[in-house]
Amino acid sequence: MDQVEVMMCLGPICTEKHETAKRLAQRIKTVLDVVKATGMRSCENPVTAIKNAHALP
């Protein structure tokens, strides 16, 4: 999963259901952090990059 895919998931619900989008982003981030910790993923978490860039409203 990369930044584009995360944006596609969160973008449509972000403006109308901000709290839902926030919770979904947290869950995606947690899953990808666990995957990275187990060695199945080596790149950075795309949710972190999206949050740091303030890419979503």
Helix (H), strand (E) counts: the chain:
3, 0
**What does pTM read for this prediction?**
0.86
pLDDT in tens, 20-48: 999 999 999 999 999 999 999 999 999 99
* Residues 4 and 52 sit within 8 Å (Cβ to Cβ): no
Work out the pLDDT band at 57, boundaries 50, 70, 90: confident
> Using an 8 Å Cβ cutoff, are 24 and 12 in contact?
no
Domain residue spans of the chain: 3-53
